[in-house]
Structure 1
Amino acid sequence: MDLTGYISHLRERYDELEETLAHPEIYSHPERAAELTREHARLKEIFEQHRLWISAQERVESLEALLRESEDPEIHRMAEQELAETRLEAEKAHGRLLLALLPGDDNDSRNTMLEIRAGTGGEEAALFAADLYRMYSRYAEKRGWRLTPMSLAPSDLGGLKEIIVEISGEGAYRQLRFESGVHRVQRVPATESQGRVHTSTATVAVLPEAEEVDVVLKPEDLRIEVCRAGGPGGQGVNTTDSAVQVLHIPTGLIVRCQEGRSQIKNREKAITILRTRLLAQKQQEERARLSSERRSLIGSGDRHEKIRTYNFPQDRVTDHRIPITFHGLASFLDGNIEPLLEVLAKKEMEARLATEEAASASPRATP
């Protein structure tokens, strides 16, 4: 697909929105006005990223022309160095443009539920789950997002058997939606006395938070029980009946929440988590009905799919869906994950553009 032509098409829509939003009567319908305003802002961001990409490309072409025309060795040396930097800048700008071009998702404006659970590997898996939580927390901090703990189950050595947090902030689901799946770590655990490398796993699920209108919970379908919170250490643990467990009878889904001392707040959080999981289940069933050609080429987002390996001895992070490898594991676990997220988004957009191009090129069936 011609990217420039596609951008021109979007400009036509942008002009329509400009004209519509200039009329005061549109604001008598707040929901519609908000929807059009979000679309207007998204298109504006696309044009800005397109401008930056074109600007970088023009500088690349200018430097290439200078190298062809100049015979001065010093100018050649300086131009070659600047050309390498500008090509990298153009590549990054192209990635950001493709990310901005990703079609809007109904879930983009929702809060996000991030669930991390220790998998195989015992205590080491729990420690790895804590490392992943710190990684996402640092990334969220850099993005200006707010994290609200919903459920927490610590391990004896300071790891996390499970943690569920709500993430509030612009673009949170859009940025993190590729993170669902099995994450694998290869390293020498703190509990290993002979220096052997072990392999452990943790599971990540990124879910759009459900609202009441998305999933209606009937009181007769819920079995709610209260009990004393459990966990290692801390005042208030095992002293009050604050933990809440909710069973959704039709599906058998169970949610337990003991993060706070308030039984009422834990009940509200458990209901929110349950509603979110039911919405995710509903959306997963809907995606399963789609043909294979329409599924994402970088992974289904299924929480059972192995997506990434964190190898400490080799100081690398490998994403198995593309595949691609980054070095500098410590920096990655410190929240510097955006370069990988940009590559994943770029691959997704390229796949969608290719699908659209193939669809537009194929002959239409005659009635």
Structure 2
Amino acid sequence: MLPDSRLDQLLARHAEIEHALSGSPDAEAYVRLSREFAELSPLIERVKALRAAERERDGARALMEDAAGDPEMAALARAEADELDGRIEELTREVRLALLPRDAMDERGVILEVRAGTGGDEAALFAGDLFRMYERFAALNGWSVEVLSMNEGAAGGFKEIAAALHGKGAYAKLKFESGVHRVQRVPDTEASGRIHTSAATVAVLPEVEEVDIAIDEGDLRIDVFRASGAGGQHVNKTESAVRITHLPTGTVVAVQDERSQHKNKARAMAMLRARIYEAEREKRDSARAADRKLQVGSGDRSERIRTYNFPQGRVTDHRIGLTLHKLPEVLAGDALGELVEALVTEHQAALLAEAEGLDRGAA
């Protein structure tokens, strides 16, 4: 059962905000109240629908008792009550989901980092495949992609690449992608047709704003140097590349893709904020996560989470035991959403199970 007092409080708060908005709040208060009203409204609609269904069900049950001498009427009332019980169960689950604690970063964009692991050139090619998969998935979701830094592989693909995916809700959809992705396929250079296994590591970090984390300028060592690699003669003539070291944690980021030192520094700071924020959050949540086991996987980047098997045309997510025989569609970004939705659903189910256990314990 859902706690009625909690639902009553939410209904009262929604009505209070509605009344305040109908008055003449100042601009700042209007924005704050409007945001809270918009966040509450979908939940309130479900709560009102749940309460209405419960009233109708109670009415149907009362009619069953009143029609005890009329079997036909009693049967109709019983059928209606049974149908409403199913509707109430569905609405109760929807309200429970809406009441679950939300990750404060879910609505943010992400910093996506893909690095080739074991497998040499083949791993770099696979890292390129993965990055393009996320790039296409971003396009399908209406997010923009900004490459922050890259180091190309000798035979193609990337030794490593980092990009910002700007779009509302990107972190909510991609946060379970962190970990080791493994590929099994026959490389183009393999004459005997032997299957090789390679790997790439994916890290998904929420985009972090300056207000989210305080970084003392005195804790930073900033080095500028001449960029190397592709880009023509210009990159070797100016010291536009930037390396930032966060001394307390030893975190290092380097960006050299833009000709502007200022732009490279801004990109490097965005990556640094994301990495430090995530490290602090992992440290803060590690004990709780170990106790509750609520994450889909540990989020550990060393954990093998998924295998892409080319000979069999399948993709298997090892955390939830899901296999899709749609490897081309997954790598094209089209079917990645099926994996994402399954991971989110599994996580929500674990949260619901814990919430229901707490409710039973409190009863």
The TM tier, using the shorter chain, reads 0.7 to 0.9
- 1:104, distance to aligned residue in structure 2 (A): 2.5
User: Could you tell me which residue of structure 2 aligns to residue 86 of structure 1?
Assistant: none
Using the alignment, how far apart are the partners of 2:281 and 2:151 within structure 1? 27
User: Could you tell me which residue of structure 2 aligns to residue 341 of structure 1?
Assistant: 340
Question: Larger deviation: 192-201 or 326-335?
Answer: 192-201
- 1:148, distance to aligned residue in structure 2 (A): 1.1
Q: CA, structure 1 residues 150+291, in 2 after alignment: closer, same or farther (shift >3 Å)? A: closer
User: Could you tell me which residue of structure 2 aligns to residue 192 of structure 1?
Assistant: 190
Q: Is the 8 A contact 1:187 1:313 kept in 2?
A: yes
User: Could you tell me which residue of structure 1 aligns to residue 162 of structure 2?
Assistant: 164
2:142 is equivalent to residue 116 of structure 1: no
Q: CA, structure 1 residues 252+128, in 2 after alignment: closer, same or farther (shift >3 Å)? A: same
Using the alignment, how far apart are the partners of 1:311 and 1:10 within structure 2? 48
Out of 255, 258, 268, which is 1:257 matched to? 255
Pick the structure with greater CA Rg.
Answer: 2
RMSD of the TM alignment (CA)? 3.3
- 1:33, distance to aligned residue in structure 2 (A): 2.7
Using the alignment, how far apart are the partners of 1:295 and 1:22 within structure 2? 45
Question: Larger deviation: 119-128 or 206-215?
Answer: 206-215
Q: CA, structure 1 residues 22+153, in 2 after alignment: closer, same or farther (shift >3 Å)? A: farther
Q: Extract unaligned runs of 5+ from structure 1.
A: 55-94
Q: CA, structure 1 residues 149+305, in 2 after alignment: closer, same or farther (shift >3 Å)? A: same
Using the alignment, how far apart are the partners of 1:190 and 1:7 within structure 2? 60
Q: CA, structure 1 residues 130+7, in 2 after alignment: closer, same or farther (shift >3 Å)? A: farther
Per-residue Cα deviation, 1:173-224 (whole angstroms, up to 9, x for no partner): 1111111111111111223232211111111111112222233222332111
The equivalences for 1:22-41 within 5 A come to 22-25=22-25, 27-29=27-29, 32-33=32-33, 35-40=35-40
Question: Larger deviation: 16-25 or 300-309?
Answer: 16-25
User: Could you tell me which residue of structure 2 aligns to residue 302 of structure 1?
Assistant: 300
Q: Extract unaligned runs of 5+ from structure 2.
A: 54-92
Supply the AA of the counterpart residue of 1:193: A
Between the two proteins, the alignment pairs up a number of residues equal to: 322
Q: Is the 8 A contact 1:17 1:40 kept in 2?
A: no
- 1:18, distance to aligned residue in structure 2 (A): 4.3
Using the alignment, how far apart are the partners of 1:37 and 1:151 within structure 2? 40
Per-residue Cα deviation, 1:109-162 (whole angstroms, up to 9, x for no partner): 333111111111111111111111110111110110111111111112221111
The secondary structure found in structure 2 opposite 1:260 is coil
Q: CA, structure 1 residues 211+243, in 2 after alignment: closer, same or farther (shift >3 Å)? A: same
Q: Give the structure, 1 or 2, with the largest relative contact order (CA under 8 Å, sep 6 or more).
A: 1
Q: Is the 8 A contact 2:106 2:170 kept in 1?
A: yes
Q: CA, structure 1 residues 19+345, in 2 after alignment: closer, same or farther (shift >3 Å)? A: farther
User: Could you tell me which residue of structure 2 aligns to residue 182 of structure 1?
Assistant: 180
Q: CA, structure 1 residues 289+17, in 2 after alignment: closer, same or farther (shift >3 Å)? A: farther
Q: Is the 8 A contact 2:18 2:37 kept in 1?
A: no
2:352 is equivalent to residue 353 of structure 1: yes
